[in-house]
């Protein structure tokens, strides 16, 4: 019978969620609409970020990513230097976005994930005035006010209860 305690014991209770987790990752790998299978990477990294989590925990994330980048994507630009951002991301610098940005495209392409220059220029023109120096300076005082109010509200929530917050 199904109610027999020996039939569905602890091993079965652990195996079912583990199998479900594996199936979810396999489904995303084989059936995913974003083409993740086409990106070169180590075999196990195709299914899980667990190795990267382990490497990060050990404190070697940057070195490992750098080595993997050299091995699997030597013709792509990746930067972590703040000084290089202006050169790498400047509008009209001649660099094309890699197919990596296709992963972020949903139904319609936005400013961030569009790879076509004409489309990108049109989208940028629509919002560029919002990021001008004048607009940013005008927003500064209001932003400081609202962030200060937000922090004050968190402080009231944290210290407003009798005896503090119970965990």
Token pair recorded at residue 133: 């120096």
Does residue 163 carry a pLDDT above 70?
no
Helices (H), the chain: 10-31, 50-57, 61-72, 82-89, 117-127, 133-159
Q: What is the pLDDT of residues 131-144, one digit of tens each?
A: 888 888 999 999 99
> Percent of the chain, pLDDT > 70?
70
Distance in angstroms (rounded) separating the CA atoms of residues 167 and 164: 10
Distance in angstroms (rounded) separating the CA atoms of residues 102 and 110: 11
Q: How many CB atoms lie within 10 A of CB 114?
A: 20
């Amino acid at each position: 019978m199904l109610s027999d305690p020996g039939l569905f014991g602890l091993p079965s209770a652990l195996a079912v969620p583990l199998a479900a987790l594996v199936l979810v990752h396999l489904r995303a790998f084989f059936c995913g609409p974003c083409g993740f299978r086409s990106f070169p990477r180590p075999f196990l990294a195709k299914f899980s970020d667990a190795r990267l989590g382990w490497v990060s925990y050990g404190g070697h994330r940057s070195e490992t990513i750098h080595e993997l980048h050299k091995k699997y994507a030597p013709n792509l630009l990746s930067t972590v230097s703040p000084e290089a951002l202006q050169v790498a991301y400047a509008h009209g610098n001649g660099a094309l976005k890699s197919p990596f940005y296709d992963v972020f495209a949903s139904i319609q392409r936005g400013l961030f994930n569009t790879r076509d220059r004409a489309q990108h220029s049109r989208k940028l023109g629509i919002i560029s005035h919002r990021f001008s120096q004048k607009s940013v300076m005008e927003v500064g005082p209001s932003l400081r006010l609202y962030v200060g109010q937000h922090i004050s509200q968190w402080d009231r929530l944290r210290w407003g209860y009798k005896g503090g917050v119970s965990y």
